[in-house]
């Protein structure tokens, strides 16, 4: 089994706790579903949020989805002028037999603009 990294992002409508949690839960669920993963396959997940999102830790959404024994960490993105606002990103490290080319990176809502080359 190989260790692979899967990327994803979602843009939320506002810095409101419920919106951050819902957007993150949608992102995590899509990454897991599209890549046919269970929490047992996940080694760790790094979440980042743009500096304008401070209402909640995105990792809480993953905890609520059952990521109880998976190491999770949250960090802030660099405040780059003109960057897409209100974005939660993730990088999940997983064990999988899938080749890197078959992994599905997930970019939802406005975050699709971040990676038009790989957005599904």
For residue 119, is it within any domain? no
Which one is catalytic: 34, 74, 98, 109?
74
74 is catalytic: yes
Which one is catalytic: 34, 98, 109, 115?
115
pTM for the full predicted model: 0.94
Distances from the Cα of 97 to the Cα of 23, 32, 102, angstroms: 28, 15, 10
pLDDT of 7 higher than 80:
yes
Residue 89 annotated as binding?
yes
For residue 120, is it within any domain? no
For residue 13, is it within any domain? yes
How many structural domains is the chain composed of?
1
| Contact in structure between 87 and 111 (CB atoms under 8 Å) | yes
Q: What is the pLDDT of residues 37-52, one digit of tens each?
A: 999 999 999 999 999 9
Question: Residue 85 belongs to a domain with what CATH number?
Answer: 3.30.1330.40
For residue 21, is it within any domain? yes
Can you tell me the distance from the alpha carbon of 76 to that of 71, in angstroms, rounded to the nearest whole number? Answer: 17
7 is catalytic: yes
Can you tell me the distance from the alpha carbon of 31 to that of 49, in angstroms, rounded to the nearest whole number? Answer: 17
pLDDT of 117 higher than 90:
no
Q: What is the pLDDT of residues 72-101, one digit of tens each?
A: 999 999 999 999 999 999 999 999 999 999
Which one is catalytic: 4, 56, 86, 107?
107
Can you tell me the distance from the alpha carbon of 30 to that of 24, in angstroms, rounded to the nearest whole number? Answer: 10
For residue 100, is it within any domain? yes
Residue 4 annotated as binding?
no
């Amino acid at each position: 089994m190989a260790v692979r990294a899967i990327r994803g992002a979602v843009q939320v409508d506002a810095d409101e706790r419920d919106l951050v949690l819902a957007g993150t839960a949608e992102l995590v669920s899509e990454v897991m579903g599209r890549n046919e993963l269970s929490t047992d396959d996940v080694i760790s997940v790094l979440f980042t949020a743009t500096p304008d999102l401070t209402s909640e830790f995105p990792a809480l959404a993953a905890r609520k989805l059952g990521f109880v024994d998976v190491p999770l960490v949250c960090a802030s993105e660099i405040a780059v002028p003109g960057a897409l606002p209100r974005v939660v990103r993730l990088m999940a490290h997983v064990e999988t037999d899938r080749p890197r080319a078959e992994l599905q990176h997930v970019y939802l809502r406005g975050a699709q603009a971040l990676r038009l080359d790989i957005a599904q």
